[in-house]
Amino acid sequence: MDYILEGILEALNLLISFDSEAYGIIFLSLFVSYAATLISAVVFVPFGIYLGLAEFKAKKLFSRFLYAFMSVPSVVVGLFVAIMLSRRGPLGCLQLLYTPSAMVIAQFILVSPLIMSLVFSMTIQDGKILEKYGKTLGASKLQIILLIIREKKLSILVNITAGFSKAISEVGAAMIVGGNIKGHTRVITTTIAMSNSMGDYPFAIALGIVLLLISLVNSSFISNYREGIV
């Protein structure tokens, strides 16, 4: 049991002493996951609202596919992106494999169905009435989408946070497309997996604590925001 306590103490020491390797990993993780989530939100929040409002024949079938993609395994996404970006793959000329950009692409693909389907179902549930109000006040389609984003900003923010949580906590895609290269593509989750297999518990625990802190900061931010706008 002592090694667990020692691990926690060493982990705290690593964080307090601003260990450059640990903080490099933390900042890269935050950059990759925030970039992937942000790009996904900018594209798929308006698109999810648009599809939620639209009436088309295969809407039910489409929603089933969308919900199925919510739980797509991260290793499958990683494998797909790796094949696409590999030297012999269709996008091999971009030379992105084993770079942070490849990790952003993989996490973007991973979180997009989640963000889009949550926004899509929110719009089906609550968006129609706002569409009605917007339409009768003279709003165009784009203005209705902007109205829904503004009126449902808290729900949308929660959805985006769920996407970010999925991105920052996944290990499979980051490992496959990033390669866990020290100082280049090593992120929190891949480091925890590697440290655990090497028996380097203090480092793994330190990064585990940081992951928990990130979740705590995110949920606190949403709680404060909710209290501020309600």
Partner 1 sequence: MQVSLANLNKSYNGINILDINSLVFKRGVISALLGPNGTGKTTLLNIIAGLDKNFTGKVKYNDMNYSEAIGRKITMLFQNVQLFRRSVYENIEYPLRLRGFSRENRKNKVRRVMDLLGITHLMSKRGHFLSGGEIQKVALARSIVFEPELLLLDEPTSNLDPESLEAFENHILKYNKDTNNTIIYVTHNLEHAKRVCREAYFLRNGEVIKEDGIF
Closer Cβ to partner 1, 2 or 55, answer by number: 55
Give Cβ neighbours of residue 175 (< 8 Å, ≥ 6 apart). Answer: 78, 190, 193
133 binds partner 1 (CB under 8 A): yes
* Residue 13 vs 140, nearer CB to partner 1: 140
Of 153 and 182, CB closest to partner 1:
153
We find the least distance from the C-beta atom of residue 44 to partner 1, in angstroms, to be: 23
The structure tokens listed for 161 are 């946070």
38-45's contacts with Cβ under 8 Å and 24+ in sequence apart are 39/104, 39/108, 40/108, 40/111, 40/112, 40/115, 40/163, 41/115, 41/160, 41/163, 43/112, 44/112, 44/115, 44/116, 44/119, 45/115, 45/116, 45/119, 45/149, 45/156, 45/159, 45/160
Residue of the chain from 54, 129, 198, 216 that contacts partner 1 (CB under 8 A): 129
Residue 149 CB, nearest approach to partner 1 (Å): 12
Q: Which of 27, 54, 132, 213 binds partner 1 (CB under 8 A)?
A: 132
Which x/- pattern, by CB under 8 A, does the window 139-178 give for partner 1? xx--x---x--xx---------------------------
For partner 1, the binding residues (CB under 8 A) are 129, 132-133, 135-140, 143, 147, 150-151, 229
